[in-house]
Amino acid sequence: MIYLEYLLEAGPDGMRCPDWVEDGGYWPGTDHTLIGATRSSPEFHIPSTVNRLSAAQLETRQVAIHNANPMQKRNDADTGYQNMTEAEVRAAIQAWVAER
């Protein structure tokens, strides 16, 4: 898989995920970028302006975002949310990568 950091595209019906992102819409950054994935040997062009990330770079990105704006999870009592730990963020990203 190729992990991509991309922006939504404007279309006649509003903002949408680019066609070259097969599985997208994850983890928005403060710069409005999102994370998505596509197969390793795509039959289509991915613009050169799109950041391609390794799994390690994706994890580093998410930890940096988490440090500035903590990711959250449901609390143990399932009554609200609490901040995730850095280890939980890393585990979540690693699990997402492993699923793809």
| Amino acid symbol at 93 | I
Q: What is the DSSP letter of 5?
A: E
Between CA 88 and CA 72 the distance in angstroms is 10
Domain count, the chain: 1
pLDDT per residue, tens digit, the chain (100 aa), is 999 999 999 999 999 999 999 999 999 999 999 999 998 887 788 999 999 999 999 999 999 999 999 999 998 888 899 999 999 999 999 999 999 9
| pLDDT for the residue 54 | 97
Range of the domain at 88: 2-99
| pLDDT value at residue 43 | 79
